[in-house]
């Protein structure tokens, strides 16, 4: 039973809470440093998007064992303005927030599967999944 980790985001301070709690969660799953950092980066990208566009929201990490492997899910939910054109948001260099706008396409490259549900005006849910094999020591 690995449970889940949910972090509410209201301010940038919560990013460090997310880093710490998500880091501990991924360590409990027995992932090596490279996998942990990759998934942490995904979580941070999605969290920063929430703070930037929706101001508040949730990032949740969960896992599911699939034979020898573990599927790690990073899920970001907000009730922000939503994404009008999801396909466009997945294009490199697209941004409405004044940055380079590399977040979402980058995240997609870092995971095995990504799903975006967005309703303009009422919110966005991004689900990113990555299938990993924990190192043997970390299992319990």
Residues forming contacts to other proteins in the complex (CB under 8 A) are 6, 8, 12-17, 19, 23, 33-34, 36-38, 40-41, 44-45, 48, 56-58, 64, 77-79, 92, 98-100, 102-103, 105-107, 109-110, 115, 117, 119, 122-125, 127
57 is written with which tokens? 């929201």
User: What helix, strand, coil percent values describe the chain, rounded to 5?
Assistant: 40, 30, 30
95 is written with which tokens? 């941004």
Least distance in angstroms from the C-beta of 1 to other proteins:
16
Least distance in angstroms from the C-beta of 8 to other proteins:
6
Residue 19 or 138 having the CB closest to other proteins: 19
Q: Closest by alpha carbon to 74, among 44, 34, 29?
A: 44
């Amino acid at each position: 039973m690995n449970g889940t980790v949910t972090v509410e985001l209201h301010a940038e301070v919560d990013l460090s809470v997310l880093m710490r709690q998500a880091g501990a969660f991924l360590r409990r799953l027995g992932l090596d440093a490279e996998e942990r950092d990759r998934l942490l980066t995904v979580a941070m990208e999605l969290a920063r998007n929430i703070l930037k566009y929706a101001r508040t929201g949730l990032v949740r990490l969960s896992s599911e064992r699939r034979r020898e492997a573990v599927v790690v899910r990073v899920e970001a939910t907000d009730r922000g303005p939503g994404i009008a054109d999801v396909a466009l948001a997945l294009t490199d260099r697209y941004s409405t927030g004044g940055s380079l706008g590399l977040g979402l396409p980058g995240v997609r490259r870092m995971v095995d599967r990504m799903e975006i549900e967005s309703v303009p005006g009422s919110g966005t849910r991004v689900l990113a999944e990555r299938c990993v094999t924990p190192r043997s020591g970390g299992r319990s």
